[in-house]
Amino acid sequence: MKTLQKVERIQQIKLGNILSPSGFKAAGVHAGLRYSKKDIGVILSETPAACAAVYTQSAIQAAPLDVTRDSITIENKLQGVIVNSACANACTGKKGMMDAYEMRKHAASQFGLPDHYMAVASTGVIGEFLPMDKIKAGIEMLCPSESIESAEDFETAILTTDTITKNCGYQAIIDGKVVKMGGAAKGSGMIHPNMATMLGFITTDAAIESQDLQAALSQVTDVTFNQITVDGDTSTNDMVIVLANGEAGNNPLTPEHPEWDTFVDLLRETSENLAKQIAKDGEGATKLIEVNVSGMKTQPDAMKMAKTIIGSNLVKTAVYGSDANWGRVIAAMGRSDVPFTPEKVNISFGEIQVFKDGEPASFSEEEAKLYLENETVVVNVELQEGDKSGTAWGCDLTYDYVKINASYRS
């Protein structure tokens, strides 16, 4: 649960986006990788930025991830990220790796940067080679600026089966300075972190060293991006990158800084917002589902149980059908490999309690159905065994999910 103190010190920026922090530019263009939509984008920092990244835990990882790791390892600094949609450049062997490095080199040259100051990200169909002539021509078309339109162009260029762009921005006061953070993401299917078929890009003008930024991102990812699921499949290209250019002028943030927690909360709010937007935009989805598990002995157990419930196809289809079938929730709990006492379980859909102290509760099916027709459905599970909690997010499972994925390559 968010504390009042946290809510007060973190403020959402109206129309916040990847360019809300000072010192960043972006662009997106149509280079012909897709039929008509924008398909190549770039984010640039005016100065070299501290950086951090997290990647898919899939054993099969696409070439752009290796190239980005290489960029970060050299100096722990980045100044740009070049991204393409339509082609994942995954499972493409030596040629795919060469193409990813060439994409990095061409983008760095275009913007006057050392090669290793550029990260690379790709998303789209697995097993196809990048059309490098179009990639290079698209990079040369990019004209980064600080405008809202440029942010929107970037947000559009990174999409695949997404139906909407995903963005947000927040700010907080640190050392008497206004520190801003913005984000953009894509993701709609193959969502089951660690991590998902998702790309996340976060910018901040906070002053912080890369190792401390990495520690904050890893901590936050576990309770945000890694707590969403759409379909149980993990992709080959998942990555979240954070750039921090220090333009806000605060004292460098470390875990010993008196306002370190404020920065971590700022990163968590940004990440959670993007993660929920991804879950809500699941392929064919009509509803966002939030599962809150409380009263557990440990937070990892609470998070694991919440993730198991949200990942249940039976729970997801029940929510799609607005069916208050609590049996599907407790069945998912039973296979979560988390120990609990069934006689202490309480389950509610929103404020409507359907299961109390291990027994069916009396409730109005009509009221429950009406509640489950909302665009956001909250499932609350209470175990009464401790004071730890965990939350996960997902979406309903619809007929359209099958239609979209049955013809993904056509």
The answer as to whether 345 is a domain residue is yes
Q: Tell whether 208 is covered by a domain.
A: yes
177 in any annotated domain? yes
Give residue 302's pLDDT: 97
The per-residue pLDDT for 193 is 46
Alpha-carbon separation of residue 99 from 34, 89, 90, 120, 208 (angstroms): 18, 8, 11, 11, 32
Catalytic pick among 197, 224, 236, 270: 197
Same domain, yes or no: 298 and 272: no
Which one of 231, 257, 280 terminates a domain? Answer: 280
Residue type, 114: P
Q: Any catalytic annotation for residue 56?
A: no
Are residue 138 and residue 251 in the same domain, yes or no? yes
* Domain stop point among 249, 280, 311: 280
304 lies in the same domain as 234: no
Q: Does residue 1 form part of some domain?
A: no
Nearest to 91 by CA among 109, 66, 112: 66
Rounded Cα gap, residues 364 and 394, in angstroms: 25
Q: Is 153 helix (H, G, I), strand (E, B) or coil?
A: helix
Distance between CA atoms of residues 363 and 155, nearest Å:
44
Parent domain of 315: 288-406
How far apart are alpha carbons 39 and 34 in whole angstroms? 6
Specify whether 272 is located in the same domain as 341.
no
- 2 in any annotated domain: no
Q: What is the pLDDT of residue 4?
A: 42
Residues of the chain by 3-state class (helix, strand, coil), percent to 5: 35, 25, 35
312, 271: one domain: no
- The verdict on 360 and 250 lying in the same domain is no
Kindly state whether residues 305 and 217 are assigned to the same domain.
no
Q: What is the pLDDT of residues 116-149, one digit of tens each?
A: 999 999 998 899 999 999 999 999 999 999 999 9
Total domains in the fold of the chain:
2
The reply to whether 194 and 311 lie within a common domain is: no
Angle between helices 299-310 and 313-320 (to 10 degrees): 60
The torsion region of residue 164 among left (phi > 0), alpha (psi -120 to 50) and beta comes to: beta
Are residues 252 and 388 part of one domain? no
pLDDT by residue for the chain (410 residues), tens only, comes to 444 445 478 999 999 999 999 999 999 999 999 989 999 999 999 999 999 999 988 888 999 999 999 999 999 999 999 999 999 999 999 999 999 999 999 999 999 999 999 999 999 889 999 999 999 999 999 999 999 999 999 999 999 878 889 999 999 999 999 999 999 999 864 444 443 368 999 999 999 999 999 999 999 999 999 898 765 556 789 999 999 999 999 999 999 999 999 999 999 999 999 999 988 887 667 899 999 999 999 999 999 999 999 999 999 999 999 999 999 999 999 999 999 999 999 999 999 999 999 999 999 999 999 999 999 999 999 999 999 999 999 988 877 767 766 765 54
Q: Are residues 293 and 266 in the same domain?
A: no
Determine the Cα–Cα distance for residues 307 and 198; give it in Å rounded to an integer.
17
Cα 167 to Cα 357: distance, rounded to the nearest angstrom: 41
Do 53 and 121 share a domain, yes or no?
Answer: yes
Residue burial 201-228, b: 16+ Cβ < 10 Å; e: rest: bbbbbbbbebebbbbbbeebbbbbbbbb
Annotate 362-384 with DSSP letters as a single string.
Answer: P--HHHHHHHHTSSEEEEEEE-S
Any domain includes 379: yes
pLDDT for res 259: 97
Please report, for the domain that includes residue 64, its CATH number: 3.60.70.12
Find the helix packing angle between 313-320 and 326-334, rounded to 10°.
170
Assigned domain for 348 exists: yes
Domain-located, residue 155: yes
Q: Same domain for 170 and 213? A: yes
Domain limit, last residue, from 225, 248, 280: 280
pLDDT reported for residue 3:
45
DSSP code, position 69: H
- Tell me the two tokens of residue 225: 């991006």
